[in-house]
Amino acid sequence: MSDFDSNPFADPEFNNPFKDPSVTQVTRNPPPALEEYNPFTDTQTQAPPGNVEKPPMPSTQPAIMKPTEEPPTYAPHTQETAAAQAELLRRQEELEQKAAELDRREREMKNLSYDPRKNNWPPLPERCPVGPCFYQDFSVDIPVEFQKTVKMLYYLWMFHAVTLLVNIFGCLAWFCVDSYRGVDFGLAILWFLLFTPCSFVCWYRPLYKAFRSDSSFGFFLFFFVFICQFAVHVLQSVGIPQWGNCGWISALTALNNSIPVGVLMMIVAAAFTGSSVVSLIMFKKVHGMYRTTGASFEKAQQEFATGVMSNKTVQTAAANAASTAARGAFKGNQI
């Protein structure tokens, strides 16, 4: 409505505020440094009027971090890397082959139902009607520090068995040149059949078990039987006539009838003498080892009592004896 009320014939600049004389005077004569003022710029960068020192301008050079140490130059060793990879592959193939071989053996053992503790002595053929009676493996059963001693005693037993076998031939040769020596020949066969298995079972196996399980009873059984075995060796080396041994006395007697037979019997007598000497040395050696194992007579008694009481045959006999005694006592009370 104001547009309709205004005077169209009036001066248009009459009501213009910028045409005021005070305003036009200020715009014509501006104060000093007013034209330099820009309100849209950073006030901190504009220096105020007057003698104000400008702050020093920072260096325009950018900051660069320099490493303290230069990285080593990379030099690839292609030949050495290839050789190492080839060696690793070769070892991996070997390990895989060994694993496959072990797996194959394990399957074979399972298929055959193999028993690692199966009896293997004496080594008889499979077609033999009588199988092995004992298990023997020095590397498995016997400690390393005792294996040599046990093997020497095993070889001593074998040497004594061979000597008894040769003694049969010596007595046979003596019987051939002297018909009165048939008793010696018969006893020689008996000593071979008797002493060979008995010596193995009575003193060698107890010693083997003693070193295998540190058995005090096994040591005492070995000492007792081996002393008797040593006495037998001495008697065999002496060679009393009519005792079935080709000892020194029998060999010197046979020289009167036949020198070759006498020489053969002297060789057997020397073998019996060597067995006696070696037996004495091994007895002392085993006794020295026995003293270091901690075995004692009390332990031997305990092991013997435990073994006897755990034996099923002994338990059955004791039960039968107890029941018989109880029945007798009951019948006596009834009477």
Q: Taking the domains of the chain in order of start, what are their residue ranges?
A: 146-305
For the chain, state the CA radius of gyration: 58
Between CA 225 and CA 32 the distance in angstroms is 138
Three-class DSSP category at 295? coil
Between CA 174 and CA 266 the distance in angstroms is 12
134 has which bridge partners?
A: 121
Q: What is the pLDDT of residues 253-299, one digit of tens each?
A: 999 889 999 999 999 999 999 999 999 999 999 988 887 766 555 66
pLDDT beyond 90 at 237: yes
Between CA 125 and CA 132 the distance in angstroms is 9
The predicted pLDDT at position 59 comes to 53
**pTM to 2 decimals?**
0.58
Between CA 308 and CA 301 the distance in angstroms is 11
Question: Per-residue confidence at 307, pLDDT binned at 50, 70, 90?
Answer: low
The predicted pLDDT at position 1 comes to 47
Between CA 170 and CA 261 the distance in angstroms is 7
Q: What is the pLDDT of residues 88-109, one digit of tens each?
A: 888 888 888 888 888 888 777 6
Q: Which residue has the higher pLDDT, 131 or 65?
A: 131
For the chain, what percent of residues have pLDDT higher than 70?
61
The predicted pLDDT at position 85 comes to 83
Between CA 200 and CA 154 the distance in angstroms is 9
> Who contacts 176 (Cβ-Cβ below 8 Å, separation ≥6)?
261
Mean pLDDT over 23-39 rounds to 57
At residue 83, φ and ψ (nearest 5 deg) are -65, -40
Mean pLDDT over 163-183 rounds to 93
The predicted pLDDT at position 123 comes to 84
Three-class DSSP category at 134? strand
Which tokens go with 245? 């041994």
Which tokens go with 30? 């501006």
pLDDT beyond 50 at 146: yes
pLDDT beyond 90 at 231: yes
Question: Per-residue confidence at 36, pLDDT binned at 50, 70, 90?
Answer: low
pLDDT beyond 60 at 173: yes
Mean pLDDT over 198-217 rounds to 90
The predicted pLDDT at position 244 comes to 92
> Who contacts 265 (Cβ-Cβ below 8 Å, separation ≥6)?
170, 173, 174, 239, 246, 250, 251, 254
Q: How far is CA 153 from the centre of its chain?
A: 27
The predicted pLDDT at position 114 comes to 46
pLDDT beyond 70 at 319: no
Q: How is the chain split among helix, strand and coil, in percent rounded to 5?
A: 65, 0, 35
Least confident of 108-117, 143-152, 263-272: 108-117
